Chains A and B, each alone.
Chain A
């Protein structure tokens, strides 16, 4: 287990940010963390990377207690709200983090990471001269310094354009193939649905749903296109589709298409957290 949280709770005064969360992330697994604002997602990630101390419960990173030097040596982190000193160039910033992360990757690692996030041409550009999207991509490169075993990404695509998001999506898939575990905190449900193996939905500091996006999805009927138009069989499941087609053909209808309907991750999410909270 690369990351594990057991009974993790955090209180800020009277406010309960986390109310006993259990979560596990394996090597090469990409887990999405979902929930409305104030659900405790960022608090959970901050405990994992050692920025926040839990009120109770335990969290480990690669077997070491979260927040310990060994745990921090094994992880990469991109905060939701981050800023890099404006006077650093992209290359200088990565060099700074190489020294702090004790990475021996040298210039090659910096060059590869900048290429990976599409910033090869901005190697010598100062951070203050970069757009927010470029800074976010640089932040991802910074998180990958030292080849971490687990990545904690808090809203990594919030400032990216569609092309930037696709770059990050491909990057996450590459990391997964390399065995890197990723805990991805994002409001972009479509992103999560596309890349994550599992999702965990938090509400008021508690896990309300967990599983693969396909397993969480609910059947919403079967839609069949005939010569009389589209007919919806809203109580039918995928297994019912061949029988329904047979019955329609037997009754003299021409069938042009069949679609098995399932709820999207957005539907599932709204079902658990409610329209108001979302």
Chain B
């Protein structure tokens, strides 16, 4: 246990020391700044909008901007998760960083688990902090709060943790560059599937909806993101709810009761494959 905690500490220290972490922090600052500016502008214009009867313009703007904020948070969190883990095994072995650590009486499974825990700790904290900032900005500028405050944050954190797990798994088999490209393509595939689902919702296309549903089960980080988006306006009904569903972040699907058990099983499956690969790997 002591060895595992040492590697967790090592992974966290490595994470915050990397120049990439500084880049992500700078990008986050830019994102938060632009988000604040945009939110401020939008809510200033809400007063001038005369929406049709039954539509709450504040809810419409608040939910849409926070949906955009969630998308930005997920993207930045993914960048962080991928860059913290993409070279954890093969990349570090090629550079000679891994060997002095794994010859210690620690166990490769413990090492990999601890690297994952370290990455999750950094990414989850980051995602929750950025999400919290976007919620605070929307609340400050427009006085609007999502219907569910905590669950979307947790789901974003878990979604980014899954991507960290995928990247860690990839690092066992692929070089750092190939792994980075692969994980971003998987992330992109998830986003495209989500967009197709929203288009399917707007067009009432069963095929597109099924396609997005199946993709979100294969890539559960997307299902978690969609579920989080859905929870922002879970209690919003009527005409406002209908209009929100037509918007860019409104057609999100609820994950259902089986989502979290599936996420647990999915992470366990990733762990089994990664551990089996790492245990057999010649370094």
Contacts and interface: CB of A to CB of B under 8 A. Distances in A.
Interface of A: 12, 46, 49-53, 69-70, 72-73, 75, 77, 79, 81-85, 87, 96-97, 99-102, 139, 142
B199 interface: no
Contacts of B17: 85, 87
Interface in B234-249: none
Contact of A75 (B2, B7, B101, B103): B103
A96 B100 CA distance: 11
B283 A142 contact: no
Given A52-B282, A53-B282, A69-B107, A84 B97 contact: yes
15 contacts: A46-B282, A52-B282, A53-B280, A53-B282, A69-B107, A82-B96, A83-B96, A83-B97, A84-B97, A99-B6, A100-B7, A100-B101, A100-B104, A102-B2, A102-B3
Nearest to A77: B103
Contacts of B107: 69
Interface in B82-111: 95-97, 99-107
A53 B282 CA distance: 6
Nearest to B13: A87
B100 A77 contact: yes
Contacts of A97: 100, 104
B105 A73 contact: yes
Contacts of A46: 282-283
A97 B283 CA distance: 19
Contacts of A102: 2-3, 105
Interface in B3-52: 3, 6-7, 10, 13-14, 17
Nearest to A98: B6
Nearest to A70: B105
A100 B110 CA distance: 12
A70 B3 CA distance: 15
Given A53-B280, A72-B103, 16 more contacts: A51-B99, A51-B283, A72-B104, A81-B96, A82-B100, A83-B95, A83-B97, A84-B100, A87-B13, A96-B10, A97-B104, A100-B7, A100-B105, A100-B106, A101-B104, A102-B105
A82 B99 contact: yes
A113 to B, nearest CB: 15
The 6 A-B pairs at the shortest CB distance, nearest first, are namely: A100-B104, A73-B105, A51-B283, A82-B96, A81-B96, A83-B96
A147 to B, nearest CB: 14
A248 to B, nearest CB: 59
B234 to A, nearest CB: 45
A75 B100 CA distance: 12
B130 to A, nearest CB: 25
Nearest to B111: A100
Nearest to B95: A83
A142 B100 contact: yes
A51 B96 contact: no
B258 to A, nearest CB: 39
A101 B105 contact: yes
A255 B104 CA distance: 61
B100 A52 contact: no
A108 B212 CA distance: 61
A81 B283 CA distance: 11
Contacts of A72: 103-106
Contacts of B100: 77, 79, 82, 84, 97, 139, 142
A85 B105 CA distance: 20
Contacts of B3: 99-100, 102
A79 B99 contact: yes
Contacts of A81: 96
A96 B12 CA distance: 14
Contacts of A83: 95-97
A99 B5 CA distance: 10
A100 B6 contact: yes
Contacts of B10: 96
A82 B7 CA distance: 18
A142 B97 CA distance: 13
A73 B102 CA distance: 11
A75 B99 CA distance: 13
A94 B107 CA distance: 19
